[in-house]
């Protein structure tokens, strides 16, 4: 007998919480093998083909191309152990419009049936946090029935007895006299509120303030006007903060002709990372101008005919790894939970790359052990993959230091936002011909501005300044790198 398995969007790693369906790779009624890709999705990191850990007949697909699917939401249901004919037979069950809808019901089996047959029709851990072990049982919160709910409320907060809607003793909660405003407890529902003044109620009503959430400062907890006004101010501040965070439009409503771009996918992930960096990291920036004439001459000398080409970014990357070997304090991160600085043994060098999908930061693993030629080849490979949208999540994560060559946009300087949770970033502006004093004489030289942004928790200005000065010295005199070879 066939068992219908529900395959949900697995955890794709690196804190990704959703993905957008790009295209389906299977059709309803098609037979799939274990670990066969069934859908291609786009995450905030890359395009990913998602393999299904079950083999059988696809009985339903959930979501069309362009649909955003959260992690844990169903993607497909698969009839494990069924032949295509069996699937078609089930699809014609009475009461269903088509085959795909009628088989969705068995996807929520009785308790204990979810794990049946898993070992016989499964694969290994095909994706992060997802394998073919039985899915965790879904927990349902049991709500009280309509008959039980009033009884529970009356048991906890019983209202005072009333006659013709007026409190018989003329008092509110805590025994405070309410002769001027009889019946207020009954008007507010089962739970009474310690309020005497109608003005207090009017202020609360005008500002949509729930008086049951206000703590009174008067005698026996009586809510005074000052209490309500303080609560209104606090509510307004919370609403203003929420409006700023969500980027909501002002009270006038949408402006005619405005365009709204959803912050999701790659753009949303980048926005969240930038915001988190600004919230958590106390960064500072220093900068210096450097004469890059000799560095450009060194690159020309290295790029002889017949030899692999060396990029300028690779030379700058090699300078960074040499500087980090001298100043290891900067190849670090901060563990805010343990309140510790974590110095990292390997340099995983990220570099900013602009693509059609937006800004991405591919990571060169173990950059400290690579030659300039190897760095150049790996940077070129990752750049091509980034532009094609084929970078894996692993190639876009766990960097320890970032090199940002914003000079390709024709700008001289910048104060970039750190790539959370990294502690430092070197920025490189454009190289331009400028007047420069060289060997005691004024000359036209190729000058570049270098900026260095760092987390002030991991080091002081002396370390940061020493790092940047060493980088500038290597740019001006590339022969200094020979010391570290």
Supply the residues annotated as catalytic: 456
| Contact yes or no for 223/206 (Cβ under 8 A) | no
In a 13 Å sphere around the CA of 321, the CA atoms on its Cβ side amount to 25
Contact between 353 and 386 under an 8 Å Cβ cutoff? The reply is yes
The helix (H) or strand (E) run that includes residue 439 is none
Angle, to 10 degrees, between the axis of helix 225-246 and the axis of helix 198-206?
0
20: which 2 tokens?
Answer: 């957008």
d(CA 29, CA 370): 50
Q: Per-residue b/e over 376-392, b at no fewer than 16 CB within 10 Å?
A: bbbbeebbebbeeeebe
Beta strands, E only, 292-344: 332-335, 340-343
Residue 99: count of CB within 10 angstroms of its CB? 18
In 3D space, the residue among 223, 208, 200, 3 whose CA is nearest the CA of residue 119 turns out to be: 3
Nearest CA-CA partner of 471 in 424, 432, 426: 426
**Distance between CA atoms of 397 and 361, rounded to whole angstroms?**
8
Q: Render the burial of 36-53: b for 16+ CB within 10 Å, e for the rest.
A: bebbbbbbbbbbbebbbb
The C-alpha torsion from 108 through 109 and 114 to 119, rounded to 10°, is: -110
Q: Which two tokens stand for residue 386?
A: 């980034």
Joined together, the tokens standing for residue 467 give 């790092």
Cβ within 8 Å of residue 293, ≥6 positions away: 438, 445, 446
CB 115: neighbour CB atoms within 10 A? Answer: 13
Q: Are 315 and 426 in contact (CB under 8 A)?
A: no
Contact 193, 172 (CB under 8 A): yes
């Amino acid at each position: 007998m066939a068992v219908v398995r529900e395959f949900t969007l697995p955890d794709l790693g690196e804190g990704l919480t959703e993905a957008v369906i790009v295209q389906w790779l299977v059709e309803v009624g098609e037979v799939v093998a274990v670990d066969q890709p069934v859908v291609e999705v786009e995450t905030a990191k890359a395009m990913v083909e998602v393999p299904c850990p079950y083999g059988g007949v696809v009985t339903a697909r959930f979501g069309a191309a362009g649909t955003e699917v959260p992690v844990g939401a169903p993607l497909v249901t698969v009839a494990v152990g069924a032949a295509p004919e069996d699937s078609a037979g089930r699809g014609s069950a009475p009461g269903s419009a088509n085959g795909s809808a009628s088989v969705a019901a068995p996807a929520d089996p009785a308790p204990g049936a979810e794990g049946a047959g898993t070992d016989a029709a499964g694969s290994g851990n095909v994706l992060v946090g997802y394998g073919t072990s039985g899915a965790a049982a879904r927990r349902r919160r049991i709500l009280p029935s309509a008959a039980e709910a009033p009884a529970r409320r009356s048991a906890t907060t019983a209202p005072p007895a009333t006659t013709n809607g007026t409190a018989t003793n003329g008092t509110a909660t805590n025994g405070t006299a309410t002769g001027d405003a009889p019946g207020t407890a009954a008007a507010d529902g089962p739970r009474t509120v310690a309020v005497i003044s109608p003005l207090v109620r009017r202020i609360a009503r005008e500002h949509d303030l729930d008086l049951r959430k206000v703590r009174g400062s008067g005698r026996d907890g009586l809510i005074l006007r000052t209490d309500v006004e303080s609560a209104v101010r606090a509510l307004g501040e919370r609403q203003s903060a929420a409006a700023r965070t969500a980027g909501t439009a002002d009270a006038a409503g949408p402006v005619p002709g405005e365009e709204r771009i959803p912050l999701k996918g790659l753009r949303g992930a980048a926005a969240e990372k930038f915001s988190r960096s600004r919230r958590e990291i106390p960064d500072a920036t220093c900068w210096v101008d450097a004469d890059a004439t000799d560095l450009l001459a060194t690159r020309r000398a290295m790029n002889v005919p017949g030899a692999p080409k060396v990029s300028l970014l690779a030379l700058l990357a090699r300078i960074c790894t040499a500087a980090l070997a001298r100043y290891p304090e900067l190849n670090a991160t901060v563990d805010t939970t343990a309140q510790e600085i974590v110095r990292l043994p390997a340099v995983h060098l990220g570099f900013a790359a602009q693509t059609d999908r937006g800004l991405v930061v591919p990571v060169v693993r173990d950059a400290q052990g690579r030659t300039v030629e190897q760095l150049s080849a790996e940077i070129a490979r990752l750049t091509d993959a980034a532009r094609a949208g084929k970078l894996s999540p692993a190639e876009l994560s766990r960097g320890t230091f970032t090199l940002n060559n914003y000079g390709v946009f024709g700008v001289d300087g910048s104060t970039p936002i750190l790539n959370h949770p990294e502690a430092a970033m070197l920025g490189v502006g454009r190289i331009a011909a400028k007047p420069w004093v060289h060997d005691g004489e004024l000359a036209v030289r190729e000058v570049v501005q270098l900026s260095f942004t760092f987390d002030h928790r991991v080091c002081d200005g002396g370390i940061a300044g020493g790092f940047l000065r060493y980088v500038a010295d290597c740019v001006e005199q590339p022969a200094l790198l020979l010391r570290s070879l």
